[in-house]
């Protein structure tokens, strides 16, 4: 199917709000929608529309996603809509894009020169070392000392997504401890659990 026909077919499937987003080829557009509602399709069609209606070179467009699979899906859709020019559009994950910038301009990131991203396996090994050295018995149940390893990794990932640095997290924990100490005493004064 010819690329113009593909664009027109997909465009007709959009609702009015999605069409407005695709038709807005100047300035920012803010799309708020839940999973599976067509955000990637809208973004892809908007890129295609910019390429169709302006003299913007494909290499001047940057599209960022959260996952590699979303970036791959966007690339496939864009190539289907605009042809090989879709390969010239930079489509990347946020992490991949930032890593590319760091690799291209290392002098701008002197603290990171020579560093590399930690792999998933390296994360697990590092966390195993930390857990093995800790004195927190609750974190290391008898018989399976790394039982909570993946839960800890998930919580670290969550803190990173929430942009909560280690120092800020310590402050947050200190505040929660103070709040806990201010709670009225919850000790049992009668019955089997007295004390």
Q: pLDDT averaged over the chain?
A: 86
pLDDT at 193: 61
**pLDDT tens digits, one per residue of 6-54:** 889 999 999 999 999 999 999 888 888 888 888 889 999 999 999 999 9
Contact between residue 45 and residue 24 where contact means Cβ atoms under 8 Å apart: no
Q: 117: pLDDT confidence band, cut at 50, 70 and 90?
A: confident
What single-letter DSSP state applies at residue 110?
A: G
pTM for the model: 0.62
Vertex 49 angle, CA 64 and 12, to 5°:
110
Quickly list DSSP for 148-181.
Answer: THHHHHHHHHHHHHTT--HHHHHHHHHHHHHHHH
Residue 194 pairs with which residues in a beta bridge? Answer: 188
């Amino acid at each position: 199917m010819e690329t113009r026909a593909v664009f027109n077919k997909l465009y007709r499937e959009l609702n009015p709000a999605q069409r407005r987003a695709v038709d807005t080829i100047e300035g920012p557009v803010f799309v708020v929608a839940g999973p599976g509602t067509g955000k990637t399709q809208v973004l892809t069609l908007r890129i295609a529309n910019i390429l169709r209606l302006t003299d913007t070179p494909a290499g001047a467009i940057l599209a960022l996603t959260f996952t590699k699979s979303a970036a791959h899906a966007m690339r496939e859709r864009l190539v289907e809509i605009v042809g090989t020019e879709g390969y010239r559009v930079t489509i990347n994950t946020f992490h991949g894009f930032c890593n590319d910038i760091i690799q291209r301009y290392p002098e701008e990131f002197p603290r990171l020169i020579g560093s590399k991203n930690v792999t998933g396996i390296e994360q697990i090994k590092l966390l195993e070392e930390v857990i093995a050295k800790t004195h927190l018995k609750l974190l290391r149940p008898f018989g399976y000392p790394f039982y909570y390893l993946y839960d800890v990794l998930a919580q670290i990932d969550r803190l990173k997504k929430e942009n909560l640095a280690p120092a800020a997290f310590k402050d947050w924990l200190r505040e929660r401890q103070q709040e806990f100490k201010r709670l009225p005493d919850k000790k049992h004064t009668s019955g089997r659990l007295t004390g």
